[in-house]
Structure 1
Amino acid sequence: MKIEKKIGNWCQDAHFMDFVHRRMHQELTERPENGRYDDLFEELDEAFDHDDRYIEPLVEYLICRLHIAKLCKNARQRERGIWWVWFQVVMEGHYVQAFSEYFDPLLAELRMTLMPMLHKEYVLMNTLKEK
């Protein structure tokens, strides 16, 4: 079964989607390390504020950070890196929609990375509740 189909099935589960929204809200509001300073990202973000041509390098940097996080062998560091990229995308706000041609590949990959991670956490949580 392809991962897209699995994700589609998972998204039909209202309890899972409630869990996803709670976790995303938690990462957005309760994790100070998600907003940690990254010199290169901040430089690209500030340059983008002044010139739209910097959107492509900004998105490429986020894609690179996502790939680096996915390659990390330490599960905790891998998850922290993935959440950091997600947090930065959320902080870009309306630019994600305004420059969708640049962000769409990143959003798709981020979804294919985050949803299995969240589903694994959800299943583990439910398994522990049952015991």
Structure 2
Amino acid sequence: MKLQKKIESWCKDENFMHYVQERVRKEMCESTESHRIDPEYEKLDEGFEYEDRYIVPLVTYLTYKLRLAVVQRSARKRKRGIWWVLVHVEMQGHYVKVFAADFEPLLAELREAFLPMLHTEYIQTLNEKSE
């Protein structure tokens, strides 16, 4: 609950939200270079293109990848893993809204992993500017 309240207060900061949008845009533009698709994800994604029943295994796999990233000891690997999941969720586009019930738990976990990471980056950039 504490983290959710912090996230709510961060989201009220327009400068932070602008930073988040720019950072996500930048990562999406560089996604082809830094976010390779693994074979298991590719199978699930292709299956989903033909049958909606693949949405549950696809979301389960993304949730697994997020949880795996969050427990990484290396900060670099943890960040890369969280970005990987975020980019692949963004690539699902409108399907996230169409299958909102399936994506909702993943999006909540992703938000709790992603926003604190970006808030730390944001604070570091503010500190660098003030020096």
Q: Match for residue 45 of structure 1?
A: 45
Question: Percent same amino acid among aligned pairs?
Answer: 48
Q: Match for residue 55 of structure 1?
A: 55
Give the unaligned 5+ runs of structure 1.
none
**What does 1:1-131 align with in structure 2 at a 5 Å threshold?**
2-31=2-31, 32-34=33-35, 36-131=36-131
Structure 1 length-normalised TM: 0.96
1:4 CA displacement = 0.9
Counterpart code for 1:118: L
Distance 1:39 1:30 in 2: 20
Once the two structures are superposed, residues 65-121 of structure 1 have per-residue CA deviations (whole angstroms, 9 ceiling, x without a partner) of: 000001111111110010000000000011111111110000111011111000000
Distance 1:94 1:101 in 2: 13
Counterpart code for 1:106: L
Tell me the SS of whatever aligns to 2:88. Answer: helix
Structure 2 length-normalised TM: 0.96
Counterpart code for 2:99: F
Distance 2:19 2:10 in 1: 11
Distance 1:81 1:124 in 2: 21
Counterpart code for 2:7: I
Counterpart code for 2:34: E
1:37 CA displacement = 2.1
Large movers: runs of 4+ above 4 Å: none
